[in-house]
Structure 1
C-alpha cells in the first residue's frame, strides 16, 4: 500500500511590494494550491501596513537576509540593485529563488554556482514574453539566431542609464527613434528596468552575447511591444506581444501574472507547458 500523505505547503516569501510584489502576495493570500505566503521584505514597512493588514493571513515582515530561513521559495521583485542581497542568502540555504530582475543576474552569475553548490535553484519566470517554451525546446537542438525588437512608450524608458549617459532627448519625440542595437547583455546594462525580457529570452536560448536586440522609443505606442524571430534547425518561428504597462510604466501587467502562473506550477496536479 502506497503512502498517500499530502505534501506540506511550500512557504513563499516576497521581497518587494511594488506593482509586481503586491499582486503576487495577494494571489498567495487568496490561495494557490500547496503554497502559503510566509513572509515579505520591504524597505518601508509602514508604507505597506494597510495592504498587509488587509490580507487574510498577514505574513511576517523580515529583513531580506532572513527570507531564506522563513521560506522554501523566495520571490525577488525589488529594484535590480537589490538582487544579490535577496537571492544569495536564499540559495546558500538550498532554497529556490524566483528572479524577476533577470538582467541583474548576468552581473551576478556566480549566484548560479552558489545555488548549485548548496542545492538551491534560481528560476527565471517567462515574464513579459511568450514562447519561451518553444525557445527552450529549440535550444535542445541548434538555434542559429535570435533577434528581438522592443518598442516602448517614452514614459517607460525615461531615466534608463543608456539614455542618460548618451544625453538622448526623448521627451519631444514625434516619430519612433531607435535608441539601441546590440547584444542582450549590453541591453541589460543600458536599460536595467526595461530589458529583463531580453535576458530571459537569451537564457532560454543561445545566451546574452548572441541574442540581438533593438530598442525603440515610440511615441505612437501605449504598450510595451516585443517581436522575436528565432531561426533553428528544428523550426523557424516568430512571436509578437503587446503588454499593457502596470502602475509602473517600466513593467508590464503580465509580469506579475507570469510569476503567479509559475508558482501555481510548483504543486499543481496538472502542469501544462515546460
Structure 2
C-alpha cells in the first residue's frame, strides 16, 4: 500500500491594518472571515478605544495598538490611513525587510526615500490596483516605448468637495448643474491638489511613463453617482482605451473595488496559479 502523504499546513502570514476608514474596516472583516494563509494580528486607528468597540467581533487575538507598535506584530502592513502618515506606517516595515501595501500611493511621490529604504533592507512596497484597471497592460507596454498616457476622471460632486486644489483656486462646485472641468495637468500635480481622490492617477503613472508625463483631466459631474475613469494609452506595442465605473463605498471618495483589489493582491501572494501581475 502506498502511504498517504502528509498535508503540510500553509504557514500563516501576520497582517496589520493601519487606518479604519471604509477600506480598513472592510479588510478587517475579510481577514476575520478568512483569507487562506493570512491572519489579522494588529490594527491601528486614531481612536483606539472607539476602534476596539467598533470591531469587538475580532476578539482578543487582534491587538489594537499605536502605529509605532505594528511592525513587531505583523509581517505585512496594509496602509489605509491619511497620506501624511505614510512614512510612519511604511518605514518600519520595509526597514525590517517586510512588506507594505500602500493605498495612499500619491504620497509616495513625496516620500521616495521609502522605496530606497525598501531596496536597502529587502523590503517590498506593493501598490494594489485599487479603483483603476489595466495596470498590467500599462506596465507591459512600458517595457517597450509608451508615447502617451491620458486619463479623464469624472466624479460626483460629493467625492471632490474639500480638495485642496478647489480651496486654493476658490472653485465652488456645490451648486453646479452640468459637468465642469476643474483640473487639467499631470498626475504629479493632481497628487498635490487632490490627495484623497487621485491615487488612481499616480498608480497609473507609476505603472507607465511616470507622474510628469501622465496627463490628467478631472471633471465634477452632478449627474453621476459613480466615479468614472477613462484611460487612453499609445505605445509601440499597442494602443488601448479602458473605462471603469466604480460604485462608491461608504466614503464617496473611495470605490468599493479598492478593498477587493487588496484582497486579490493578498491571495495572489500565495496562489498556486497566478493570473496577471
Separation in 2 of the partners of 1:251 and 1:234?
32
Paired residues of 1:69 and 1:93 also in contact (CA < 8 A): no
The aligned counterpart of 1:111 is 114
The aligned counterpart of 1:165 is 168
The yes-or-no answer on 1:44 pairing with 2:47 is yes
**For each residue in 1:69-123, what CA deviation from the matched residue of structure 2 results, as whole angstroms up to 9, or x when unmatched?**
2111100001111111101111111110000001011110111001100110000
Unaligned runs of at least 5 residues, structure 1: none
Separation in 2 of the partners of 1:188 and 1:18?
20
The aligned counterpart of 1:258 is 261
**Which of 155, 168, 178 does residue 152 from structure 1 map onto?**
155
Aligned Cα root-mean-square deviation (Å):
1.5
The aligned counterpart of 2:37 is 34
TM-score between the two structures when normalised by the length of structure 1: 0.96
**Which of 216, 221, 224 does residue 218 from structure 1 map onto?**
221
* Pairwise CA distance, 1:271: 1.6
The yes-or-no answer on 1:121 pairing with 2:112 is no
Unaligned runs of at least 5 residues, structure 2: 1-5
The aligned counterpart of 1:25 is 28
* Pairwise CA distance, 1:52: 2.3
SS of residue matched to 1:178: strand
The aligned counterpart of 1:246 is 249
The aligned counterpart of 1:237 is 240
Separation in 2 of the partners of 1:151 and 1:233?
28
SS of residue matched to 1:228: strand
TM-score between the two structures when normalised by the length of structure 2: 0.95
SS of residue matched to 1:214: strand
Aligned length: 273
* Pairwise CA distance, 1:251: 0.7
The aligned counterpart of 2:142 is 139
* Pairwise CA distance, 1:47: 1.5
* Pairwise CA distance, 1:51: 3.5
The aligned counterpart of 1:94 is 97
Separation in 2 of the partners of 1:192 and 1:104?
8
The yes-or-no answer on 1:179 pairing with 2:188 is no
Paired residues of 2:52 and 2:64 also in contact (CA < 8 A): no
Separation in 1 of the partners of 2:273 and 2:57?
31
Separation in 1 of the partners of 2:172 and 2:151?
23
**Which of 248, 252, 270 does residue 273 from structure 2 map onto?**
270
